[in-house]
Structure 1
Amino acid sequence: MDFGWSEEQSARYERLLAEVRAVCADSHEAGGPLGAERRHWLRLGELGVLGSCVPAAYGGQDLGALDTARLFEALGRGCSHTGLVFGAGAHLFACAMPIAEFGRPGLRDKLLAGMCAGEVIAGNAMTEREAGSDVSVLATTARRTAGGWLLSGEKTFVSNGPVADVLITYASVDPNAGYFGQTAFVVDRAAPGVRVGAPMAKMGLGDCLASPVGFADCFVPDERVLGEPGQGGPIFQRSMGWERACLFAGFLGLADRLVEQVTAHVRARRQFGLPLSRFQAVSHRLADMVLRIEGARLLLYRACWQMDRDDPAELAIALSKLAVSEGVLNSALDAVRLFGARGYLDGDVEAALRDTVPTVIFSGTSDIQRQLIARELGL
């Protein structure tokens, strides 16, 4: 197995890292959430982030999962606005990729180039008040009508919802069929019957706006169904494979940034006449941060490698998601401790802790990942 990156891959990573750092530096004076401003989406499009794994025929870069993850790693390392990184990932993996893989040709032609360029923003509308970890019990329904479907129900925690132009949503077309009775739809925000709620106040990921979205007899034409009626469950799980592997590479980048910041701090900060780095309790805590993230990195790379080979990757993806989310959350907490009172002040380290808390919740909680791992082991 080759553990090295090619010159092209390394250059792509370094180039994006440098460009993102420059953009991020210019954005520190911004007053509102970055995800609310179209110019930031357009810039992400220019950088190639929003279409990295979308086929080139539809405006993307046609990269595999591993190369895409590497780009998101650079994005997460260079951009301290982690909510924007998360929003970009939700846009690409939970919205663009289902359209690229399951949309009809006309729908792909209409939407994907704009989504890759950041001209069209997408939101993923799956979660409901009573359907979080268990998405087999959707209360949102779709019933047949002439030429399409009438969609009714309420979604919540819709990432990018307040700024989305299109919404990838899932509804039950056969309540008795559970997981196999769901259908995936691509809905225009401007369609009659769509109601987007106010942005939700969250403890972290503030640069990714989220909101509830309601549908009241919203008509969706047949050509905006992804796959076939009843295939919504498998389509959603396919998108979660992309998200759990590649989006979480952005949090690997965040962890790398934390290690850089902590290392610089403990070398410079002195107590009892010595740099903090000379105290074993400090250096060992930093060593644990590196151990967690390097282990998680290998698991994530393996999951993406298996995806690129079209090998069964469910176990690898669940292991990767669990290791990255738990690892980055614990490392962010360690960073706060190593910065001491300074880590509790408003700033990058404190924000990183708040931004990493939801990693153990979204895209399947840590306990759901453990359940998936146990199932793959035949337990």
Structure 2
Amino acid sequence: MGMRGLETCRLAFDTEIPDEAILVRPGMALHAIGSALIYERLSTAALMLGALDLALLVTATHLRRRKQFGVPLYEHQALRLRLADLIARTALARRGVHATVAEFSAAGVVNMCEVAGVKVTVARLAEHVASECAHLFGGHGYVEDETRFPQLLRDIRVGRVGGGTDEMMWELAAKGMRTDDALYDRWVRS
């Protein structure tokens, strides 16, 4: 659907693997490639941030240049505030990705549950922001001959499946959820 430069296809192997060639016990492959998945998920989040920056920059420029009713679109408060919200959410996402990468770089390890949460949150945000930015372009945002938003929307979609689907990421994030019975007992009167 998107990222047409990637040569993604289904592979199937019909062969016997001799015991001496097996790298991990059967059923443990996902655990064995865990560190590679951390890189993939962080890379996906970073890729989504780049797409967000592109969409927001082009859209902010559009709001300043395009005039409606004799004034730039930026002068219409509803549009300006809508874009400001998208920019603020993107700034928070960027800080989350940068902090996670910095932690991983410094310690060599990172909480896999948090990485999953960061990846899924940024990927979903990217899809939302790109859609909203296309909307702020009006009809031009949906016409391939007018803007590149249709391509961007298709390309961003891979962020929600690459490195693990949203549901897989939320399952991992849920495994890292903290609880505190003593705090609960102080807050909730039974």
TM-score by length of 1: 0.43
Paired with 1:323 and 1:293, the residues of 2 have a C-alpha distance of 11
Q: Report the CA distance between 1:221 and its aligned residue.
A: 9.2
Q: Report the CA distance between 1:205 and its aligned residue.
A: 1.4
1:112-165 deviation digits (Å, cap 9, x = unpaired): xxxxxxxxxxxxxxxxxxxxxxxxxxxxxxxxxxxxxxxxxxxxxxxxxxxxxx
> 1:351 matched to which residue of 2?
151
What amino acid is the match of 2:15? D
> 1:278 matched to which residue of 2?
75
1:53-107 deviation digits (Å, cap 9, x = unpaired): xxxxxxxxxxxxxxxxxxxxxxxxxxxxxxxxxxxxxxxxxxxxxxxxxxxxxxx
What amino acid is the match of 2:176? E
What amino acid is the match of 1:360? R
CA contact (8 A) 1:299 1:316 kept: no
For this pair of structures, how many residues does the alignment match?
175
Q: Identify the match of residue 13 of structure 2 among 184, 196, 215.
A: 215
> 1:244 matched to which residue of 2?
41
Q: Report the CA distance between 1:338 and its aligned residue.
A: 0.6
Equivalent position SS for 2:5: coil
Q: Report the CA distance between 1:291 and its aligned residue.
A: 1.6
Does residue 171 of structure 2 align to residue 371 of structure 1?
A: yes
Q: CA RMSD in A?
A: 2.1
> 1:143 matched to which residue of 2?
none
Q: Report the CA distance between 1:220 and its aligned residue.
A: 7.4
Paired with 1:273 and 1:205, the residues of 2 have a C-alpha distance of 38
What amino acid is the match of 1:252? L
Q: Identify the match of residue 137 of structure 2 among 318, 322, 339.
A: 339
> 2:122 matched to which residue of 1?
324
Residues 311 and 214 of structure 1: CA distance in aligned 2, closer, same or farther (over 3 Å): closer
What amino acid is the match of 1:367? E
Residues 372 and 208 of structure 1: CA distance in aligned 2, closer, same or farther (over 3 Å): same
CA contact (8 A) 2:44 2:119 kept: no
Paired with 1:333 and 1:351, the residues of 2 have a C-alpha distance of 11
Q: Equivalences for 1:82-93 in 2 at 5 Å? A: none
> 2:113 matched to which residue of 1?
315
What amino acid is the match of 1:331? V
Q: Report the CA distance between 1:207 and its aligned residue.
A: 1.4
Residues 357 and 246 of structure 1: CA distance in aligned 2, closer, same or farther (over 3 Å): closer
Does residue 65 of structure 2 align to residue 268 of structure 1?
A: yes
TM-score by length of 2: 0.82
What amino acid is the match of 1:369? M
Paired with 1:273 and 1:303, the residues of 2 have a C-alpha distance of 45
What amino acid is the match of 1:340? G
Paired with 2:82 and 2:31, the residues of 1 have a C-alpha distance of 41
Aligned-pair identity in percent equals: 24
Residues 311 and 215 of structure 1: CA distance in aligned 2, closer, same or farther (over 3 Å): closer
Q: Which has the higher strand share?
A: 1
Paired with 1:316 and 1:234, the residues of 2 have a C-alpha distance of 17
Q: Which runs of 4+ in 1 moved over 4 A?
A: 218-223
CA contact (8 A) 2:48 2:126 kept: yes
What amino acid is the match of 1:339? F
Equivalent position SS for 2:9: strand
Equivalent position SS for 1:262: helix
- Structure 2 unaligned residues grouped into runs of 5+: 180-190
CA contact (8 A) 2:120 2:166 kept: yes
> 2:91 matched to which residue of 1?
294
Q: Equivalences for 1:148-167 in 2 at 5 Å? A: none
